[in-house]
Structure 1
């Protein structure tokens, strides 16, 4: 299973390095959004608490821009049946999930690096900051991977992807906003562990649900 998942991960990385479609699209969108927020909304003059949540809205819509192609490209290039012949559902899901996680992790690091500089913010708790980046990327990857598989064979894929994803990620955004506030503003305050535990729990539940449900989506 590990070898098959690694082979799918290698395929995804090779394909992205060849085309650079999703990478260029997401980085361009994120950079343009950061500049728009800085110069148009004067976000650097906002209170610290709204600042800590605004970055996740940028990341969410950037994810919506590029992650929809995770399984859509398999349907468009007629490779869906080929994957079904050479790997089972769990192997395909894990390979795609790990790729999306690494991709979103890169997006998070890129976005936060420039966001903190532009907003003149400092990290108060490195533990909560790293937890927000890592578990936030894993949670978004699990949701977008499963949703992309659900809409891959449908018409109007982009609209369906957003409609299905947003209700699933709203609780995640609320948790991430609170964890990021502790990381950038309040530090390890009382009650912070509850939000960190909720973030880890959300990540675990969505990944587990994806593994359990993906078999039905893949075979149908």
Structure 2
């Protein structure tokens, strides 16, 4: 497991437990109950309440746990040529094992989608996080089964957190380069801001992502 992944396992238990973040604040005689950076549309509370923990400056978390029937909107505005945008969720109680939810490469969404390439329907409450991994540019030269692909489109469904493991013919052909990149830390966040109820994050190499959570109001 990489150093980033090992730090993640115990830090996540602190920063993402339900009820610890964004507690109701009371200032008599005014009571503030609405979370920051929200709007209402079509029966949904739309929230940009995400954060980057300073102890893991590459990882974006929802400030409140995602629950069943939430919609996570992740829109890659721009991805650098060797960047892969990743959404993972915990696949074990201590988050030492993660499940791949979705991946984007500079050409678009790389993995299976439900309906919209930039929207993820949350099936169950869990811990989710968003990050960017830089992978070496894929070379298909001389690979008869790679179909001149330029980006990886197939990945191992389970891995340690913050580890992205391409598989298939193209990955096998680029095995040594991928092994060398596996334990490198994710791309760090350079800036983060809110545009209304949208969280906008820009990474050190210029990749930019817009993130929102849509929570049904019923």
Question: Structures share a fold, TM > 0.5?
Answer: no
Higher strand share: 2
TM-score (norm 2): 0.29
Higher helix share: 1
